[in-house]
A and B are shown apart, each in its own frame.
Chain A
Amino acid sequence: GQQVMQIPQYQHVQEGEDFTTYCNSSTTLSNIQWYKQRPGGHPVFLIQLVKSGEVKKQKRLTFQFGEAKKNSSLHITATQTTDVGTYFCAGYNQGGKLIFGQGTELSVKP
């Protein structure tokens, strides 16, 4: 079945450093979504990318969808302690099921 892989699993950064998480799907995706889950919280929708090669920005966050629509990345510039959490990518398979990556857990040292 379709798999969505995310790397790295954990990332520890010093506040102010940049952070990137990568997402790869075994099949072409119609769209890709990113979610953030704070410790003890629930996943919160961040953004959806639909077009091949699409790039979207939300303040210090930059999201990119690959040309082949099989990979995506999330880059955070100058991390802050408020960025702490686990970032998940997710893509719909043919049957309408949203498949989540394993997530990248970000910790930020002040």
Chain B
Amino acid sequence: NAGVMQNPRHLVRRRGQEARLRCSPMKGHSHVYWYRQLPEEGLKFMVYLQKENIIDESGMPKERFSAEFPKEGPSILRIQQVVRGDSAAYFCASSPPVRETQYFGPGTRLLVL
């Protein structure tokens, strides 16, 4: 049973470009969560999704950030017009139902030049 998959593992973008981060949850998991971790800091919740639904996006910046979890395919975290402050590690986690253990992917390290 493969774990949570994320790609790319490392992503370099110039200011103003778009970043697309992908997450495939563990088999059988229907809940996906995205977190951001700045250097030397903890994990900040961004968004919680189920298939085709955004359940809680209270941690998402109002502009430039969006997330989806389509019926088919991975969950996507999209950052438009990236700025240097977006440089961080972005982790995806998945769980079976809510309030259960979350399993984390290896993360995508985004560097904005």
- Distance from B46 Cβ to chain A, minimum over Cβ atoms (Å): 11
Chain A-chain B contacts (Cβ-Cβ < 8 Å), number: 48
Chain B contributes a number of interface residues (CB within 8 A of A) equal to 22
Number of interface residues of A (CB under 8 A): 21
Residue of A nearest to B59 (CB): A97
A42 and B104 within 8 A (CB): yes
Interface residues of B, dominant DSSP: strand
Query: Does A102 contact B104, Cβ atoms closer than 8 Å?
Result: no
For chain A residues 78-99, which have a beta carbon within 8 Å of chain B?
Answer: 88, 92, 95-99
Could you list some 23 contacts between A and B, CB below 8 A? A30-B99, A35-B104, A41-B106, A42-B104, A42-B105, A42-B106, A43-B43, A44-B104, A45-B101, A48-B101, A92-B99, A95-B56, A96-B56, A96-B98, A96-B99, A97-B45, A97-B56, A99-B45, A100-B35, A100-B45, A102-B41, A102-B42, A103-B42
